[in-house]
Amino acid sequence: MTDVMKDPWAKLRAATPARIGLGRNGAGLPTGANLEFQFAHARARDAVHSGLDVDALEAELSPFEVIRVTSAAPDRASYLRRPDLGRKLWAGEADKLNARTPCDVAFVIADGLSSAAVQSHAAAVVHAASAKLEGLTLGPVVVATQARVAIGDEIGAALGARLVVLLVGERPGLTVADSLGAYLTYGPRPGLKDSARNCLSNIHGKGGMSYDQAATKIAWLTREALKRGLTGTGLKEESGVLDQENAPHIGEA
């Protein structure tokens, strides 16, 4: 039941990334397949629990001005147990953002549930998207740690931004542990519902959305949102770069 059993499955295995045709010993998973699984799970857990290297991220974001803030969640364990804390700024952090010239668009980068996703993709997406936002004023890039999507509302309001583009590490899966999501919110202010945002998900390098595709969609949504004065269910993404319908929705917010 090892090689003899596996070969007939080769054709089927090509049809799906699912873990099929693994073979078995009795009802047990073969050692190799078992360790492969453990590796994938370990990588996903590391993506959740590793801290974001903000210095490295700031260097990559150059020449943008970067402001660092933390959420009200004091550590990872609190962050995971208390989504409400990850959605608001630590007391006093808003002071770093006040008294700025109002801008059209502010990028916010939140570590979310995968610092690996943010580390790998966030700066590249900011650069690619901002290049397509000619004619609009951009605020500083705010990097928020222990942060969830809704923290962008408070940040955007404090900055006086008309719209916030928040990039966030999505809940890691076994196959892809570094998937980035982007949430666009017009008129950011605390208390907005998720239905008031537009979302792109699955920005990553393993068959996901490319930086350029993401940037095109972000730019299209940004311009339409500013023109129409809204984001959310009233604004359908129609830039037509790729069919988003099959993208699984990952419940990060």
Residues near another protein (CB under 8 A) are 1, 4-5, 8-9, 12-13, 15-22, 24, 26-29, 33, 37-38, 40-41, 44-45, 47-48, 80-84, 113, 171-175, 177, 245-248, 250-251
Least Cβ distance, residue 54 to another protein (angstroms): 21
Least Cβ distance, residue 27 to another protein (angstroms): 4
CB nearer to another protein: pick between 5 and 59: 5
The H-assigned helical ranges of the chain are 3-6, 10-13, 31-49, 54-61, 76-81, 83-86, 115-117, 123-131, 151-159, 211-228
Pairing relation of β-strands 197-203 and 180-186?
antiparallel
Least Cβ distance, residue 15 to another protein (angstroms): 4
CB nearer to another protein: pick between 41 and 228: 41
Rounded-to-integer distance, Cα 153 and Cα 251, Å: 18
CB nearer to another protein: pick between 18 and 91: 18
Least Cβ distance, residue 132 to another protein (angstroms): 27
Pairing relation of β-strands 161-169 and 66-70?
unpaired
DSSP-derived letter for residue 59 is H
CA-based nearest residue to 226, from 137, 128, 98, 143: 137
Least Cβ distance, residue 141 to another protein (angstroms): 25
CB nearer to another protein: pick between 101 and 195: 195
Least Cβ distance, residue 145 to another protein (angstroms): 16
Spatial contact of 201 and 251, defined as CB atoms under 8 Å apart:
no
Cα torsion 226, 121, 123, 85: sign: positive
CB nearer to another protein: pick between 12 and 131: 12
Spatial contact of 156 and 188, defined as CB atoms under 8 Å apart:
yes
Upstream peptide bond of 248 is cis (omega within 30 degrees of 0): no
Concatenating the DSSP letter of every residue in 145-167 gives ES--TTHHHHHHHHHTEEEEEEE
CB nearer to another protein: pick between 96 and 171: 171
Least Cβ distance, residue 14 to another protein (angstroms): 8
CB nearer to another protein: pick between 55 and 84: 84
